[in-house]
Chain A
Amino acid sequence: DVKVTQSSRYLVKRTGEKVFLECVQDMDHENMFWYRQDPGLGLRLIYFSYDVKMKEKGDIPEGYSVSREKKERFSLILESASTNQTSMYLCASSIRQGNTEAFFGQGTRLTVV
């Protein structure tokens, strides 16, 4: 079974802190994605990556950056956390082509106070 693991289920950070959310997948998938989920807004894509050291902006990249130094690991970085970044963050991975069904991690609920 594909496993996508996010480093934390719950996280509380202070405004202005630098926050790292880590995601690791074990199926050698080329693609990795970071989404945020907010009530009534569904899933919105923040950043994605099709290969090591490669990144593409999604629909809402402002205030975020990412890092993909190894194929299995994709990190989301909040350079200076703000209260409007309080949300559920979901990581996903998929193969590059064909049936690109995405496999999701369990989510990280981040609260910025």
Chain B
Amino acid sequence: GEDVEQSLFLSVREGDSSVINCTYTDSSSTYLYWYKQEPGAGLQLLTYIFSNMDMKQDQRLTVLLNKKDKHLSLRIADTQTGDSAIYFCAESRPLGRGSTLGRLYFGRGTQLTVWP
């Protein structure tokens, strides 16, 4: 299909790991992104991964990319109450074949709730 898919809700206990999953659609996507949105705010880039990478780690964040299955995941280690937010997966797709211009396609967002 055309949509970037992610589950809508995830609840975890403080201190546990959170894993947010996403499936994207276009094998020619060059960059894949994770954004975080706190209540009443705009989106903030958390991390991104280039399509020739399998994994990227940045402090408590680990991104895994499975290009064969078009599957992207974000793992947050030692999840804190401050991590409660909506997390968006996004893929960058070219506008058309051979185009150097692109735009982002977003999933619907996963609401992460962290319980103390």
Contact = CB atoms under 8 A, between A and B. Distances in A.
Given A100-B31, A101-B48, A42 B42 contact: no
Interface in A50-109: 50, 58, 90, 92, 96-97, 99-107, 109
Interface of A: 4, 33, 40-43, 45, 48, 50, 58, 90, 92, 96-97, 99-107, 109
Given A99-B48, A100-B92, A50 B101 contact: yes
Contact of A90 (B31, B43, B100, B103): B43
B99 to A, nearest CB: 10
Contacts of A40: 8, 108
A92 B88 CA distance: 15
Interface of B: 8, 31, 33, 35, 40-45, 48, 50, 88, 90, 92, 100-104, 106-109
A92 B35 CA distance: 13
B104 A100 contact: yes
A37 to B, nearest CB: 8
Contacts of B40: 107, 109
B114 to A, nearest CB: 20
Given A97-B100, A101-B31, A109-B40, 4 more contacts: A43-B88, A43-B109, A45-B103, A92-B43
Contacts of B107: 42
B18 to A, nearest CB: 19
A43 B48 CA distance: 18
Given A50-B101, A97-B100, A101-B31, A42 B106 contact: yes
Contacts of A96: 100-101
A58 B106 CA distance: 13
B104 A102 contact: yes
